[in-house]
Amino acid sequence: MSFDVNDLRQRFPAIRDSEALFFDGPAGTQVPDSVVEAVSRGLVEAASNVGGAFVASHRSEAVVRAARIAGADFLGGKPEEIVFGPNMTTLTMAFSRAVLAGFEPGDRIVLSGIDHDANVSTWTRAASDFGIEVDWIELADEHVQLDLATLEGVITPRTRLVAIAGASNAFGTVTDLRRVMDIVAGSGIRVFVDAVHLAPHERIDVASLGVDAVVCSGYKFYGPHVGMLWARREWLDVIEPYKVRPAPAEAPGKFETGTPSFALLAGLTAAIDHLASLGEGSTRRARLDSAFADIRSHEAALGYRFLSQLPDNVSVWGMPSMEGRVPTFAVSVDGLDAVEVATRLAARDMCVWAGHYYAVEPMRRLGLLDKGGLTRIGFVNTTTDEEVDRLLDALTGL
């Protein structure tokens, strides 16, 4: 592996200066010094709006340009296909309305029963407003996999779009996006991927996947709260977004309502550079390829360690091995509800989440929504073997 985890942890002020064990990466990761410094510099050096004739405005333009290039390297697209917003939910809300406004009443979209609500309610609300019909990809089994055969079953000549998560933020299940693309091949159906939970764990290459749009959030991969959307330029060009009259008429700017946070865009670039610094290669894309190969290996080892030593009083909902999943685990503990589990772990300085974590649809389908949901534990590339062992000891003692 090209990075040492213990050395890596020294880059993170919250990890370095705290006794806390951060198993809450699915809700947002900690940030390294380089991101903190980039945001701080941006607040000073890029505080003016773009489009001016003066130096400060030019600096802000340079920050935006650098962020688009970094975003393209991160997702595999082109800089002119990268759109920014305050967060993934806001971006998806605006994008979904703009997309569905161009459909005809009676057209159909397909959503996934495993998704975060930011990729469910955004589309269902817009579909209701525009008379668009909604079909569903169902859950296959107790391992919380998607039954992609149900996707084949619901596609009709009126199906225009599939919106689907790359990975479940609740259960860690990874979607077989290549099979999705095989199913819709030649149909003209657009595929929109919520990659918020996939982006911290897997290398994303939109050219290889063949999808039409991917959305993610910087704060899930060691950056600030910035949403980032990639979509095919030919699709962006024909969508008419909701915007004010002076806003740019061309993509990607026409999708970016209002003044962005230039400092946070500087931080997003720094986060991508941080990830690239964990790998090797002559270009940022090559270094990201290398880094994510090592990240995947390290996180898989953590996951195997956790699953192989799980105490008898703890049950994992989802895939029972690391095949087809990322190291995010929704668990239940005998005799305790999710909040009590999280509270007892918090007393030991262990950060985990309880409830549905906005994964309303899968929790509802599994009959867990009205029972308080589950406790979520997530590992990332700064997690160590020792931390996993301490967590296992704590779970045993609950």
**Mean pLDDT within 268-282:** 98
Whether the CB-CB separation of 395 and 309 falls below 8 Å is answered with no
Buried b (16+ CB within 10 A) or exposed e, 66-91: bbbbbbbbbbbbbbebbbbbbbbbeb
Q: What are the CB-based long-range contacts (under 8 Å, 24+) for 61-69?
A: 63/262, 63/265, 63/266, 63/269, 64/260, 64/262, 64/265, 66/265, 66/266, 66/269, 67/265, 67/266, 67/268, 67/269, 68/252
Co-location of 240 and 304 in the same domain: no
Co-location of 142 and 259 in the same domain: yes
CA distance 128 to 101: 11
Co-location of 27 and 68 in the same domain: no
Co-location of 71 and 166 in the same domain: yes
CA dihedral 130, 95, 373, 326 (to 10 degrees): 140
The pLDDT of residue 142 is 79
Check which CATH number belongs to the domain holding 272 and give it: 3.40.640.10
Co-location of 205 and 302 in the same domain: no
Distance of CA 281 to the CA centre of its chain: 25
Per the structure, the count of domains in the chain is 2
The pLDDT of residue 34 is 98
- At 102, list the tokens: 């161009």
Q: Domain ends where: 276, 301, 322?
A: 276
Co-location of 262 and 314 in the same domain: no
Look up the domain containing 272 and give its range.
Answer: 37-276
137-196 per-position pLDDT tens digit: 999 987 899 999 999 999 999 999 999 999 999 999 999 999 999 999 999 999 999 999
Instruction: Say if residue 252 is preceded by a cis peptide, omega within 30 of 0.
Output: yes
Q: Domain ends where: 234, 260, 276?
A: 276
Beta bridge partners of 82: 230
87-122 per-position pLDDT tens digit: 999 999 999 999 999 999 999 999 999 999 999 999
Co-location of 218 and 167 in the same domain: yes
Q: Domain ends where: 254, 276, 298?
A: 276
Co-location of 306 and 380 in the same domain: yes
Co-location of 360 and 383 in the same domain: yes
320-357 per-position pLDDT tens digit: 999 999 999 999 999 999 999 999 999 999 999 999 99
- At 137, list the tokens: 């990809």
